[in-house]
Amino acid sequence: MNFDFSDDQKFLKGEARKFLDANCPTARVRGVLDDEGKAYDAALWKAVAEQGWLGAAIPEEYGGLGLGHLELCAIAEELGRVVAPIPFASTVYFVAEAVMLAGNEEQKSWLLPKIAAGEVICCMATSEGPGPATEASLKTTVKDGKISGVKLPVTDGDIANIALVLAKENGKPGLYSVDLDGEGVTREVLQTLDPTRDAAKLTFKDAPAIRVGDAGAGLEIVEQVFDRAAILLAFEQCGGADRCLEMAKAYALERYAFGRVIASYQAIKHKLADIYVKNELARSNAYYGAWALNTDAPEMPLAASAARIAASEAFWFAAKENIQTHGGIGFTWEMDCHLYYRRSRQLGLVAGAPRVWKERLVSHLERRNAA
């Protein structure tokens, strides 16, 4: 039994933590939070690119480090821990994964090296409004290589160069690459719960679009990409949830009430124990997801669903109970608690809400047990 990261992977994770402790203190996150004109931390983005992290799982022939997905999981956990205000997930977990999965040779050779080098920011545009995007609900269309329609919210849509857009062509959903700096694209920044991760409304009017993957396979590709992204996001969520537990513990150990530290009251001790239990269950599910992702296992849809559900709920629980443990001070803008509370909502929704994943999970179980 070897259900753990290797020593090399743990070393990489340790180095990533040191790097981010030095380069992404919460003051940097607040630099994005407090400045409405700032969508992300460009200096941090550049520094992360120089570390090679954007191409960690991209093969060397396409300009990446060719390490593997376990290494990317390790990095993701550290990024989540510091609520890094950069378009890493959009660019790497969604778009690089989609191109590696469904792109043709030309598309891979063109885009992956740019991603690995940090030359482009990418985003995934599937949602068109409240509720999950379905074949019936999808309104964005492609005709003669031109795309038209409205997508919102698109995380990082205001700063991305390239978008992968879910749209219908001849009545069937496909996935299309659109140059957001080109003609026929207008962007509008949206007000969101987590201003450290911006989102936009993208309006396409006859913008040039190139199909990625087979015609009519859009929803299947998106589902597979979301499985991969869900596992990587789960590591970010585990990192964030563990940080919340650390913050709550540190505060509970220094805050006195009724003559003793609040960490000595069972109401607080049991609350933190509950966070710990949820975090460990999330971590174990995320590990299984990492194994499935790294080996491209047939169990991936189930593993991804379980990782997504456990991590989304653990981060939400840890983030809200961290504020509760802090009491009044935790409700202030100056304390960092709300950075994690906000990010837990962003990460918990960006690849689809837990409710949607629970339905997917049970559908898979039904099919598997019927067969």
Tell me which of 144, 334, 369, 371 binds another protein, using CB under 8 A.
369
Question: What's CA 91's distance to the chain center, in Å?
Answer: 10
Question: Does residue 163 touch another protein according to CB under 8 A?
Answer: no
Closer of 190 and 356 to another protein (Cβ)? 356
Q: How far is the CB of 80 from another protein (least distance, A)?
A: 18
Q: How far is the CB of 163 from another protein (least distance, A)?
A: 31
Closest CA to 358 of 290, 304, 289, 300: 304
Tell me which of 67, 212, 222, 252 binds another protein, using CB under 8 A.
252
Tell me which of 1, 22, 27, 371 binds another protein, using CB under 8 A.
1
Question: Does residue 359 touch another protein according to CB under 8 A?
Answer: yes
Cβ atoms of 103 and 111 within 8 Å: the answer is yes
Cβ atoms of 83 and 29 within 8 Å: the answer is yes
Which two three-digit tokens encode residue 28? 């940097």
Q: How far is the CB of 210 from another protein (least distance, A)?
A: 36
Cβ atoms of 48 and 116 within 8 Å: the answer is no
Q: How far is the CB of 298 from another protein (least distance, A)?
A: 15
Q: How far is the CB of 342 from another protein (least distance, A)?
A: 24
Question: Does residue 358 touch another protein according to CB under 8 A?
Answer: yes
Tell me which of 53, 235, 316, 357 binds another protein, using CB under 8 A.
357
Q: How far is the CB of 358 from another protein (least distance, A)?
A: 4
Tell me which of 37, 191, 266, 333 binds another protein, using CB under 8 A.
266
Question: Does residue 276 touch another protein according to CB under 8 A?
Answer: yes
Closest CA to 53 of 8, 118, 122: 118
Question: Does residue 264 touch another protein according to CB under 8 A?
Answer: yes
CA–CA gap between residue 272 and residue 325 (Å, rounded): 9
Based on the number of CB atoms within 10 Å of its own CB, is 151 exposed (0-12), middle (13-18) or buried (19 or more)? buried
**Region binding another protein by CB under 8 A among candidate stretches 50-58, 81-89, 102-110, 253-261:** 253-261
Question: Does residue 280 touch another protein according to CB under 8 A?
Answer: yes
DSSP H/E element including 108: helix 105-117
Which two three-digit tokens encode residue 46? 């550049």
Closer of 257 and 273 to another protein (Cβ)? 273
Which two three-digit tokens encode residue 325? 């443990």
Question: Does residue 134 touch another protein according to CB under 8 A?
Answer: no
Closer of 305 and 344 to another protein (Cβ)? 305
Cβ atoms of 333 and 256 within 8 Å: the answer is no
Write out the DSSP string of 175-241. Answer: EEEEETTSTTEEEEEEP-S-TTS-EEEEEEEEEEEEEESSTT-HHHHHHHHHHHHHHHHHHHHHHHH
Write out the DSSP string of 307-367. Answer: HHHHHHHHHHHHHHHHHHHHGGGGGSSSSTHHHHHHHHHHHHHHT--HHHHHHHHHHHHHH
Which two three-digit tokens encode residue 39? 């969508």
Q: How far is the CB of 62 from another protein (least distance, A)?
A: 24
**Region binding another protein by CB under 8 A among candidate stretches 122-130, 183-191, 233-241, 258-266:** 258-266
Question: Does residue 285 touch another protein according to CB under 8 A?
Answer: yes
Tell me which of 146, 172, 187, 249 binds another protein, using CB under 8 A.
249
Q: How far is the CB of 312 from another protein (least distance, A)?
A: 10
Tell me which of 90, 91, 127, 305 binds another protein, using CB under 8 A.
305
Residue with tokens 């509970």: 252
Cβ atoms of 87 and 123 within 8 Å: the answer is yes
Three-state DSSP at 217 gives coil
Q: How far is the CB of 67 from another protein (least distance, A)?
A: 13
CA–CA gap between residue 172 and residue 333 (Å, rounded): 46
Interface positions with another protein (CB under 8 A) = 1-6, 70, 245, 249, 252-253, 260-261, 263-264, 266, 268-270, 272-274, 276-277, 280-285, 287-288, 290-291, 294, 305-306, 309-310, 355, 357-359, 361-362, 365-366, 369
